[in-house]
Amino acid sequence: MRQRRHPTSGRHRNGGSRARRRSDGVSSITRPHPLVVFIRLCGVTGFGVFLGLSIAGLVGIITGRAFTDGTAWLAGVPVLAALGAAVGATTAWLTRRWFFPSMPRRWLLFASSGLLVLPLATAVGQGEVVSAVTFPSTALGSITTTILWRRGCRRKVALAQASPHQRLDRR
């Protein structure tokens, strides 16, 4: 039978909280399930690829290669921008607990970035954008976001494992 939380205290009826200490002294909050870590890693890497593609698309637009052969990309930009805003707002909602959780107006920031980035990322497929720009920018974006995410995870785990006195010193 599932335990229900007390409506005002947030604790379970038996008085304990859901986070249990393991035998090594680390709570289950500091170490999420490996599947959750893998899904987050895939999401962060995909975000980096998306940013790298948008940089390559911006280079294609600046050099004029995205407009060759009369592509229909320019006519589809408003639809892509609306779709990007919806994807950005959805991403903000899905990542609200672990990716910048205390950021003010995060849905607005994510929606506006999706509004700009999705049309730029699709500009890579238009015309002849140089592959010497596309692959390195994509790889650099994915590696950078993965390194930053891993650094944040290590900091979060180290802070959670620290004693209460060390936590006060770091703030």
Strand partners, 27: 21
What does the buried/exposed string (b/e) look like for 97-115 if buried means 16 or more CB atoms within 10 Å of the residue's CB? eebeeeeeebeeebbebbb
What is the rounded distance in angstroms from the CA atom of residue 53 to the CA atom of residue 35? 27
What is the rounded distance in angstroms from the CA atom of residue 158 to the CA atom of residue 167? 10
Tens-place pLDDT, residues 53-96 = 898 888 888 887 777 767 777 888 889 999 999 998 998 888 88
The alpha carbons of the chain give a radius of gyration, in whole angstroms, of 21
Print pLDDT tens along the chain (171 aa): 555 554 555 554 544 445 555 555 555 555 678 888 888 888 889 889 988 989 888 888 888 777 776 777 788 888 999 999 999 899 888 888 777 778 888 889 889 988 988 888 888 877 666 677 888 899 999 999 999 888 888 887 777 777 666 555 555
What residue ranges do the domains of the chain occupy? 36-155
- pTM for the model stands at 0.65
115 touches 76 (CB < 8 A): no
Task: State whether the Cα torsion 93-167-32-10 is positive or negative.
Answer: negative
Q: Give the chain's end-to-end CA distance (angstroms, integer).
A: 40
